[in-house]
Every structure is written in C-alpha cells, then in structure tokens.
Amino acid sequence: MSDRVLVIVPTYNEIENLGRILDRLHASVPGAHALVVDDGSPDGTGELADELAAADPRVHVLRRTAKNGLGAAYIAGFRWARANGFDVVVEMDADGSHSPEQLPHLLAALEDADLVLGSRYVPGGEVTDWPAHRLLLSRAGNRYTRWALRLPLSDATGGFRAARAELIDRLPFDDVASQGYCFQVDWAWRAVRAGARVTEVPITFSERTFGRSKMSGSIVGEAWIRVTVWGLQDRLADWLPGRVRRPGAQRGRPRE
C-alpha cells in the first residue's frame, strides 16, 4: 500500500509499553507513522513519547492535559491525521494486546474496503490469556450489540482497526458522546449505516504484559446502556418515521 499510514496510539500510564510497541510497529510496517495521544499520564509516558519523537521523524505526539476518554482521544487523532494529510488511519492499543505484526493483514484488506476491523470472533481469530469470565463478557457484549443494533459484525467492540481517511471525513464525529470502549461500537455502526464497505479480518488478541487494564465496570455499563438506547431509538425510527431521529443519522465533517 502506497498510502500514507498513521497509527494512532492513545496512552495513559503506558511508559513500560510505549517504546516496545513502537519498535514492533516500525519493524512490521516501516513506512507507517505513529501519533501518540497522551492524556496527561502521571507516570511520564508523555515525556517518553516526546523523546521518541525527537529521535524518529515517524513518531508524533499530541499531548492532552486530562484523561478525557478513549473516544475523545481518537477523535483528536483523526483530526490531526486529516490536518496532516494522512490517507489511512489505524487504531491500535499501546499495551501490546494488538499485535503490530498483524497490521499488514489489515492494510491489505483495506484495498477492497473502507474500514477493516481486526476481529477476535471470526474464524481464525482468538483471544489468549483472558480469564473465562472476561471472555464470556466480551462475547456476550458483541452478540448483544449485533442483535440490538442489527449490526452485521462479529467484533464491533475491538479497537484494532484501519480506515480510509475519506470515511473519517464522511462520518459525523461531532455528536459522538461515547467516551469508553463503546466509542468503537458507535463509529463502526455509523460506518455501516453510511454504506461503507466494512470487513473483518481475524486477529489474535493477547492480554497486556505490563501495567493495569483500563477496563472498568463503568465502561462496561456505559456500553450496555448506550447500545440499548441506540437500539430502541433505531427501532422507534422504523415505527415512527419522521418523528424519531435515527441515532447518528446526520451527516457532517469533523471540525478542524
């Protein structure tokens, strides 16, 4: 792929993982650039990102002053990507749970798609090192999301994905309210509803080696509540056309 690729890596207290993941990224896709979006990490992750950027022109840093959520971090990264002329935008966690060695498969699939999701739950995909209760929760959440939103995706909650920048431009991110991992469901659903070509490729997801997971009960609760509300609104829009606005239906562009 000859397009300019930007990998957005949101961070909060990832000082043990950041250097390793960027090394692996550039070993796997040497031409890719990385944008570290740090939310004021108290452990020095932002300062380390600045040092890495000073040593490598493929690394860029967007420093934010507070922990404002995954969704806000990615939207800020999307806007930076478009302002700096990147053609492909990738989401990837800093903790090593997403394998940069699998990124070439996502980029190859993007040749015939607008959005490629790295999926744990299509044939060939798998999760390693998770306790049974967390795997069950993730599978149940994805099945519920598929049913509630009538969304033809096996893994709408996954955070390893690649998108064409033109799709980012088409989607109305200004009214995205979801801040946790529900953001991934939100914008995958918007992409499907906008008629984008969305495909899933199998990935192996591994638990982080260093640091603590950002998953919490409040994040899970937000996802369940929002998906339920969106699903009800979507069905009401079918039953009461013109009287109920379909979630995420309006078109728009990210503000610069």
pLDDT at 175: 73
Six token digits for residue 88: 């492909």
Backbone angles phi, psi at 168, to 5 degrees: -55, -40
If one counts every other C-beta atom within 10 angstroms of the C-beta of residue 37, the result is 25
Q: What is the pLDDT of residue 252?
A: 40
Residue that is written with structure tokens 């049913």 in the block: 147
Can you give the residue ranges of every domain in the chain?
5-239
Distance CA 213, CA 209 (A): 10
**DSSP assignment, residue 115?**
E
pLDDT digits (tens), the chain, 256 positions: 568 999 999 999 999 999 999 999 999 999 999 999 999 999 999 999 999 999 999 999 999 987 878 888 999 999 999 999 999 999 999 999 999 999 999 999 999 999 999 999 999 999 998 889 889 999 999 999 999 999 999 999 999 999 999 999 999 887 776 766 789 999 999 999 999 999 999 999 998 675 555 555 666 777 788 899 999 988 898 887 877 777 765 444 433 3
Beta bridge partners of 38: 11, 63
pLDDT one-digit tens code per residue, 95-117: 999 999 999 999 999 999 999 99
Q: What is the fold of 5-239?
A: Spore Coat Polysaccharide Biosynthesis Protein SpsA; Chain A (3.90.550)
Using CB atoms within 10 A of its CB, is residue 67 exposed (0-12), middle (13-18) or buried (19+)?
middle
For 13-16, the CB contacts below 8 A with 24+ separation are 13/41, 13/42, 13/43, 13/45, 13/211, 13/212, 14/41, 14/43, 14/45, 14/94, 14/95, 14/211, 15/41, 15/43, 15/44, 15/45, 15/48, 16/210, 16/211
Query: How many angstroms separate the CA atoms of 72 and 194, rounded?
Result: 21
What does the alpha-carbon distance between residue 22 and residue 27 come to, in Å, rounded to a whole number? 9
Question: What is the rounded radius of gyration, in angstroms, for the C-alpha atoms of the chain?
Answer: 18
Which residue's structure tokens are 């995909």?
125
Whole-number pLDDT of residue 1: 58
Distance CA 188, CA 161 (A): 10
pLDDT in tens, 224-241: 888 999 999 888 988 878
pLDDT at 173: 82
- Alpha carbon 105 to chain centroid distance? 16
Strand-pair category, 59-64 with 33-39? parallel
Spatial distance between the Cα atoms of 141 and 220, rounded to a whole number of angstroms = 9
User: Residue 181: what pLDDT?
Assistant: 74
Residue 157 to residue 175: CA distance in whole angstroms: 19
Contacts of 35 (CB under 8 A, 6+ apart): 6, 7, 8, 9, 60, 61, 62, 77, 80, 81
How are the residues of the chain apportioned to helix, strand and coil, as percentages rounded to the nearest 5? 45, 15, 40
Q: What is the model's pLDDT at position 176?
A: 75
Nearest Cα residue to 162 out of 209, 119, 212: 119
pTM score of the predicted model? 0.89
